[in-house]
Structure formats: C-alpha cells, structure tokens
Amino acid sequence: MIMRKKFWIVLVVVVLVGGALFVLSQRDSSEEPDEEEPPEASPVKTVQPEELTLPGERSYATTLQPWETAHISGSTGTLIDAVHVREGDHVSRGQLVAEMYDSELRQAEVEKRTARAELERSERLAEVGAVPGQQLEQAEAQYESASTTVELLGKNTRLTSPIGGVVTDKYFVAGEQFASTAETPSIVTVQQLDPLKAVVDVSERFWRNVDAGMEAVVRLDAHGSRSFDGVVERTLPTVRPDSRTFQVEIRIDNDDGKLSSGMSGRVRLNMGDISGMFIPRTAMRTEPGGDTHYVFVVDDEETARRIDVKPGERIEEYQQIVDGLDKDHQVVIEGAARLSDGASVQVVD
C-alpha cells in the first residue's frame, strides 16, 4: 500500500515538471530575438575643397657652411719648423701660416746652384765650339729640373693660405712631425666665413623654377624670428637618382660677423604662385608605405566614404589635390583617424 502511494507521488511530480518545461519552451520559441542597436555615429567636422591661388614658397632645412675651406699641410713625415697662427686669427690670401723643416729645400738649392754653374760653363764652351750641342741641352735640362724641385719644395716648406678667412682649427705645433689622418687632416684649417652658404636639396619638379640670382629668405634658430637675405649662387647640374632632388647653393653675406658656420635654420624659396583645388592638410590620410593617399568624405546619408586622391603641392596648412575630389565633396578634416569606409558619422560644427 505504501509502495503504491510513493509511485503515484513520483508520477505526479514528473508530469508537473515536464508540463512546466514544455510551457517554457513554447514561450521561448514564440518570442522574437531582440534587434541589435545601431552603432553610435562618430562626430566629424567637414569642409568643401576650395579653388585657391597660393604663393608657392617652399621651406628647406639647412646648416650654414663656410664659403670656402682650405686644409693647409706639408709633406707627410716632415718636421714642422713653425706655426705662425692660432684658432680665431684672421689671415689674408697668400699669408705665411706655417713653415716645415727645410733640410731638403737647402739641399735642392745647392743642387740648383751647381746646375746653374754647369749650365753657364757649357754655354761658354758652346760659344767657341768646345762642347757639342747635346751636352748644352743636357745642362739646360738639369738646371730646369733643379729649379722645379726647389719651387715645389719651397711650396711644401713655406705654407701660405690660398684664401682669406679665419683659422678655425690648428692640429699641430712646431717640432711635431706632420701626418695626415681623419682626426688631423692638416696643420691648420682656414675657412672663409664672409660670405657663408646654405645648401638645400630641391625636388626635381622645381628644376625650371630655380635660377642663379633668385632671392631667398634665411631664418636661423640662433636668431629667432629675424630673417637674413640670401641669393641663389648656383644649382648643381645633376639630379640625384635616389632622392630625385638637386642641390641649390645660396649665398648669405656676413660682413657684420653675426652668423657662423654650423648654425641651423630654414631657407625659403618662392617657386611662383600655384593654383588648384586645396584642402586642409589635416584631411589627408596615407596608407603604411606612403604610396596611397586618401581622404574620407561624408555622403547624403551621413556615411563616411573613403576616396583615393592624387596629391599635389603642400603649402603651409593646405594640400593641393590634383585628382580624386570634386568641389561639392564634404571632406572630413577632424575625426578621420577613427573612421573606416561605410562608418556612420554625425557632422558637427
């Protein structure tokens, strides 16, 4: 009797639990899934491209260099007899700056005097027909050779400056033996610091825009906002194939001595006015590698669309666009960093 009662109790419980599970499953199947919320629109600022004519000034980093540099040295292995200048001294062209030990020169001068005496003797004998003409020619050749040797040794013994300027380095003192190395390239170095020059690398597309005599504006970090006048002295005649640039040499007068070789700054050259379609530089995007340039524009449905563009000149805060944009495009200038093609956006002021 007790066993039958337990059986009915278990059966009732099973039926109740099964019925409850069936009802829950039917309710879940009848309910529709929740719809996903649309992604939040990214706030952006836009502008339309503008047709502008801008001054085509280009700015180039530079470091001032001496107009000319002379490394004055003697024969390697020769003792230095005297050095007559020190760093900071002003020297003129042809001024004696150092002397080498002259034992070889003295010996060469003795040989020159001997050759001269032999030549004079041969000339006297030749006048009376006592020596053949061939012997006279040999005497003349020996004298010319001895004279040339004295002249060369004289240049290597009494060292003069080939330019006027300032002694910027002194590597040896009297009594030392001269030996040229990377650390000691000369006995003294003289640099012409008035004028100075600035050398800049200019893109090959401006080859026709740069000529000798063209004005330049130079600003140096050491002089703050002050600018200095410069003039294009020359352009080097070849374009470097690796960088597609050519070098331009600019002359800067330094008669008051306020400028120095080694000062860094920037040179501005006016390449002529440039007309075209421009957008702010902040709108430009570049893929890794730098070969593909693009911008984001916003369509009528406030959706961001990526457009590849062909850039032209970059002038101050503007970027010229040669191809890819129309004047009616709404170009994203703020907020583009977090966008992707097809992203939802909200244009804000």
- Can you give the residue range of the structural domain that contains 278? 45-55+274-347
Is 17 contained in some domain?
A: no
Residue 56 pLDDT: 79
CATH number at residue 152: 1.10.287
Residues 63, 210 share a domain: yes
Residue 98 pLDDT: 94
Provide CB contacts within 8 A for 264, sequence distance 6+: 61, 62, 63, 64, 220, 221
Residues 319, 258 share a domain: no
Residue 274 pLDDT: 85
Residue 249 pLDDT: 97
Residues 279, 260 share a domain: no
Residue 36 pLDDT: 58
Residues 309, 291 share a domain: yes
CA gap 263, 193 in Å, rounded: 12
Residues 202, 63 share a domain: yes
Is 30 contained in some domain?
A: no
CA gap 153, 109 in Å, rounded: 10
Is 39 contained in some domain?
A: no
If one counts the domains in the chain, the total is 3
Q: If phi over 0 gives left and psi between -120 and 50 gives alpha, with beta otherwise, what is residue 262?
A: left
Residue 140 pLDDT: 81
CATH number at residue 303: 2.40.420.20
Residues 208, 266 share a domain: yes
Residue 2 pLDDT: 53
Residues 341, 195 share a domain: no
Residues 200, 63 share a domain: yes
CATH number at residue 218: 2.40.30.170
Is 88 contained in some domain?
A: no
Burial 173-199 (b: 16+ CB within 10 A, else e): eeeeebeeeeeeebbbbbbbbbbbbbb
Listed as ranges, residues in the chain with pLDDT below 70 are 1-39, 103-106, 108, 150, 152-155
Residues 227, 206 share a domain: yes
Around Cβ 295, how many Cβ atoms within 10 Å? 24
Residue 27 pLDDT: 55
Residues 196, 63 share a domain: yes
Residue 75 pLDDT: 80
Residues 264, 201 share a domain: yes
Is 237 contained in some domain?
A: yes
